[in-house]
Amino acid sequence: MSALFRKDAPESLGSLANIYPSPTSLPPLSLPDSPASSKPRRRPYRFSTQCATVDNPDEKDQYGSSSVPIYQTATFKGIAGRYDYTRSGNPTRSHLQHHLAKIYSAQYAHTVSSGMAALDVITRLLKPGDEVIAGDDLYGGTNRLLSYLQEHNGVIIHHVDTTDPELVVPLVQAGKTAMVLLESPTNPLLKIADLELISNYVHRTAPEALVVVDNTMMSPYLQRPLELGADIVYDSGTKYLSGHHDLMAGVVTCNRKDISEQIGFVINAVGNALSPFDSFLLLRGTKTLA
């Protein structure tokens, strides 16, 4: 099966070994001193440091607060400013989303009122007749939402054991498959899917299809599916991200601007964006991942 997706490197050079000279037989290279040798490149922050460091260059606090303030307001004064109404945008939420994008290896992040609200926003990208491939072991709320979409919205749902790529492959069809919804590990049975393998195949076979991963069971501390080829990743921030078991939240991340704009439009339209106070709590909670 893996031959469908990956090129396995040869175990040895075999007869080619004599064609290439041994590294020890090559003359030493004489290289000039690097012009940057006196200014060594700073290493990227480790994940724990990224979690504990909240800094958004585009949202500097006017008083230099080291903790992000809670902008507990519904409206903002002024004309043509960045913010006007908290449903559409709020500085506390902007700080949170910038921070989450950083730790998810994402270009864009959106936050909503719960993990199921996150999936609801994502599935609003579907239209009647679209086909969705989903696992056979899913979170109960996910099953309820998919059943509703199938019954009322005309979306076709295929449930399959996603731990076996051989079962996924026949269902992926260009022009029909609109979304592949994966959990790994699954909830509740902790079944594992090869996210990279499936993502690569889906993108080659049905380029318009979106690979969506529920990463709640792992959090970005242990797994970042965007790095494995997923198009959209969502989490229930209520679980590991909250850190204190005191809020409801959902997170949606992606790297494509067009997807981010569609997600943002839906959130603004339906009004389920995360509140300023809960945004502050989630900012505090993500530091516990460190």
Average pLDDT over residues 202-214: 97
Average pLDDT over residues 227-235: 98
- β-partners of residue 232 are 212, 254
Judge if the upstream peptide bond of residue 32 is cis by omega within 30 degrees of 0: no
**Selected catalytic residue, list 124, 176, 239, 256:** 239
The pTM score is: 0.84
Q: What is the pLDDT of residue 27?
A: 53
Q: What is the pLDDT of residue 78?
A: 73
Q: What is the pLDDT of residue 7?
A: 44
Burial 7-32 (b: 16+ CB within 10 A, else e): eeeeeeeeeeeeeeeeeeeeeeeeee
pLDDT at 95 over 90: yes
139 is catalytic: yes
**Selected catalytic residue, list 71, 104, 108, 139:** 139
Residue 66: pLDDT band (50, 70, 90) is confident
Euclidean distance between CA atoms 173 and 209, whole angstroms: 9
What's the chain's average pLDDT?
A: 88
87 is catalytic: yes
DSSP 8-state assignment for residue 47: H
Average pLDDT over residues 260-269: 98
239 is catalytic: yes
Residue 39: pLDDT band (50, 70, 90) is low
108 is catalytic: no
**Selected catalytic residue, list 120, 137, 194, 214:** 214
Q: What is the pLDDT of residue 58?
A: 81
User: Which of the pair, 115 or 30, is modelled with greater confidence?
Assistant: 115
